[in-house]
Structure 1
Amino acid sequence: MIWQGRSRRKPTGGFYKRARKKRKYELGREQVETLVGERKIKKVRVRGGNYKIKLFAESYANVYDPKQKKVVRVKIKSVVENPAHVHYARRNVVTKGAVIATEIGKARVTNRPSQEGVINAVLIE
Structure 2
Amino acid sequence: MKFQGRSTRKRTGGRRRHARNKRKYELGDEPTETELDEPSLKTIDARGNTTKVRALSTNVASVADGDEVSEAEIENVVENPANPNYIRRNIITKGAVIETSEGEARVTSRPGQDGQVNAVLVE
**CA-to-partner distance for each residue in 1:46-90, whole Å, 9 max, x for gaps?**
111101111110010000012xx2100010001000000011111
Structure 1 residues 47 and 124: CA distance shift in structure 2, 3 A: same
State the distance in 1 between where 2:80 and 2:62 align.
18
Partner of 2:84: 86
Where structure 2 has 5 or more consecutive residues not aligned to the other structure, the ranges are 9-16
After superposition, what is the alpha-carbon deviation per residue over 1:77-118, rounded to whole angstroms, capped at 9, x for unaligned?
010000000111111000000000000100000011100000
Per the normalisation by structure 1, the TM-score is 0.81
Residue type of the alignment partner of 2:44: V
- For 2:46, give the aligned amino acid: V
CA RMSD in angstroms, aligned pairs only: 2.2
One-letter amino acid matched to 1:88? Y
Check whether the contact 2:2–2:18 (CA below 8 A) recurs between aligned residues.
Answer: no
Structure 2 equivalent of residue 106 of structure 1: 104
How many percent of aligned residue pairs carry the same amino acid? 43
Alignment of 1:40-55 (within 5 A): 40-55=40-55
Partner of 2:35: 35
- What secondary structure does 1:48 align onto? coil
| Structure 1 runs (4+) greater than 6 angstroms displaced | none
Q: Which runs of 5 or more residues in structure 1 are unaligned?
A: 11-15
Distance 2:2 2:41 in 1: 26
* Matching residue of 1:13: none
Give the number of aligned pairs. 113
Distance 1:118 1:17, change over 3 A: closer
